[in-house]
Structure formats: C-alpha cells, structure tokens
Structure 1
Amino acid sequence: MTKIYFVRHAKPDFKILDDLTRPLTDEGLKDSESLCELFKNKDINKVYSSPYKRAIDTVLPVAQMLNLEINIVEDFRERRICNKWLDDFDSFAKNQWKDFNYKIEDGECLLEVQQRNINALKSILRENNSNNIIIGTHGTALSTIINYYDVTFKYEHFERIKNIMPWVVMLEFDGENFVKFKYINN
C-alpha cells in the first residue's frame, strides 16, 4: 500500500499578492514546525511539493528533519484564477464548485485543476509503490483531488476546510487503485 499525505500549506501572508512567492506568516511558520511531530513516526520515503513558496515552506521542516529532498512538481500548483487579484473569492469559488468548467478569462476551471493534479498524483503512484509520501499542496488543488475519489466532496466541504491551515489528508492506494482517505487534522 502507498500512503500519500497531502499537506495543505500553513497560513500565508495575504498582504503579498503574488501567488508564487507569497510566504507564510510567523504563525504559519510555527505551524509548519509542528508538523514534524505528526510525521516523525510515519516512515516517510519522499517529499514532493507545489512550486509555490508557501507549500514548500510548509513541508520544509519535515523534509529537513527526515533529511529528504523536496521534489518540486509544477502540476501540484494551485488553481490559476486570473491575471489580477480577485476581490469576491467566495462567489467565484461557489460558481466553480457549481460548474467544474466555470472560469474567468486566463484562469483555470476546477476540471482542469483536477485533471492536472490527478495526472501528477498517478505519475507519483507509478514511481513510488508501497512508499509513504508527503505532498505539499493547496486548498483548492487538494479539494479537487478528494472530489475525484469521493464525488460527495463538494463546495460545502471546501468551505469547511477553507481556514484549516495546515490541513493534512491521507489517501491510501493499492498501486494506482484508491483504497481510502482519512482526515488527519481538521
């Protein structure tokens, strides 16, 4: 069995509008350190992450503790909304969850985000049979992965986890076949 521990990033500094370089707050950095306790006995073999600073910095303390390299996977990045800051995120998110093809010009729909993330996940599963893996990720990206394996995960669930940072979810696989998932913290 392969266990994938998806770690949604800790609390980011929203004063920094650039998605790629947005850092964690001091609280987020502290919360990232606390993940070491959670993972110290999980026999983690590899660590992957989205290329975004907040995702990398969230899994960095665990990777350092385990003396593991962080492998960056571009396709685990967060959804691209559009080329400017979006003021009414809640309405936008609700529309996207209502229609997985809904997007703003120059942005991605949830179906595109889901397909991109699932393809990256399946590639990792093929390369890492029977390993325990951490993947640093994002709320929307992770939510679309969960939705792929459990179609009952909808907007209401996304709303509930919106402010849980970091959020850890374990998905278990037999080869590429999904077995179960478990919320580790929520």
Structure 2
Amino acid sequence: MKTHLYLVRHAHSVYTPDEHGRPLSEKGQKDVDKVTEQLINEGIDDVVSSPYLRAVQTVEGIAAAIGKPVHKMEELKERKLMDGSARHFEEAITKLWENPDFSWEGGESNHKARYRGVQGIQTLLEQYQGRRIVAGTHGNIMVLIMNFFHERYDFEFWKKLSMPDIYKLSFENGRLIDCCRVWMDEE
C-alpha cells in the first residue's frame, strides 16, 4: 500500500524576527491559490503543517478545498539556525551543510534537525498509511528530510527550490520509492 506525502515549502513571506508569526507576503498570498490548484486533483486526504504561520497559510487553501482542518506538527517547523539572526545567512547555512554535526549557538545541526524532521515523517507514514497527505513546511527542513532518503537532495538542491515548491514523495512499507516535483511555477 502506497502512501504519498506532498512536502510543500511555504510561499513567500514578509520577513520579521518572529519565526512563529511571520505571515505570507502579498505575493505569497496569491501563490496559495496556485498551490491549491496544483494539489486539487491529487486526491489529497489530509493536511498537516509546521505550526509556523507562513507554512499553515500556504496549505490552508487545499485544506479548505477538501474540507479538512490543518493539523499542526512541531517536527515540520524550520530548523533553528541560531540564537538571534545571522549577519551573513548564506555563510551561516553553508557552514551547517559543510559539517552536518556543527551547530551555531542555540541552533540545530543538520543531523539534529534532520532527525527531528524524519521522526515526524515516520509518524505521518504510520498514522496516514495508504493516504495522500499534504505537509506544509520550510525549505531547509524539507531538504534535510529528503536528504535522509537520498543524498542527491543536498545543499545545491536546496538553493534551487522555489518559494513555494512542492515535492511528492511516494512510500511503500516506509521506504521511499519515488520522488517528483509537482510545483509548476508559471512565472
């Protein structure tokens, strides 16, 4: 029995230091309709999301379209980079990918964040076996999860993600058997 997991990277958000409450931008709000259009014919059964507002907002359209609530899941939240904000984000994130055990003060290493994310995916695969689940999440944790299943999903892959983006991961008996991009950016 196959389980299909649609990992949805959130749409563009307005930057604020409040990770939990950061909302989608005007462009991000418009992209919610596009995300819904991409997923509406996939036969989605359930919707879960990171508790962060931008991720929830990105998948609310598909949840409303299928008449289901968005269940929040802590394991899908973005990896914590460090206490405070990074002066040079690109340099900070590069160092984490170069050394998966390294973490900035107050932050999560790649290994720690990936472990958390994969635990969440395994829970979803058990709870929603044989179903089609949309999971609203964030770019870095999404690729760390995907990297657990195949090394080709790496830092370079992360840098090429769009915002939003959607990848369909198909599992059989808890094993990844296929992964394909669903998002078709029209810009």
* Pick aligned residue for 1:185 from 179, 183, 186: 183
Cα distance in 2 for residues equivalent to 1:183 and 1:2: 16
1:47-126 matches, within 5 Å, as 47-126=47-126
1:119-158 matches, within 5 Å, as 119-158=119-158
Which structure 2 segments of 5+ residues have no match?
none
Deviation readout 1:77-97 (Å, 9 max, x if unpaired):
101112211121101111111
Task: Determine the structure 2 residue equivalent to 1:12.
Answer: 13
Range moving further from structure 2, 147-156 or 114-123: 147-156
Task: Determine the structure 2 residue equivalent to 1:174.
Answer: 172
Cα distance in 1 for residues equivalent to 2:163 and 2:123: 26
- Return the TM-score normalized by structure 2: 0.95
- How big is the shift at 1:178? 1.2
SS at match of 1:6: strand
User: Is the contact made by 1:46 and 1:134 (CA closer than 8 Å) also made in structure 2?
Assistant: yes
Cα distance in 2 for residues equivalent to 1:160 and 1:61: 25
Deviation readout 1:29-55 (Å, 9 max, x if unpaired):
110121121111111111000000000
CA RMSD for the aligned pairs? 1.0
- How big is the shift at 1:150? 1.0
Which structure 1 segments of 5+ residues have no match?
none
Cα distance in 2 for residues equivalent to 1:167 and 1:57: 14
Deviation readout 1:97-134 (Å, 9 max, x if unpaired):
11111111111011111000101100110111110000
Cα distance in 2 for residues equivalent to 1:42 and 1:160: 24
Size of the aligned set, in residue pairs, is 183
Cα distance in 2 for residues equivalent to 1:111 and 1:122: 16
Deviation readout 1:5-36 (Å, 9 max, x if unpaired):
0000000101x121111100010011012112
Q: Which amino acid aligns with 2:82?
A: C
The runs of at least 4 consecutive aligned structure 1 residues that moved more than 3 Å come to: none
SS at match of 1:21: coil
Task: Determine the structure 2 residue equivalent to 1:34.
Answer: 34
Cα distance in 1 for residues equivalent to 2:79 and 2:94: 14
SS at match of 2:42: coil
Cα distance in 1 for residues equivalent to 2:66 and 2:128: 17
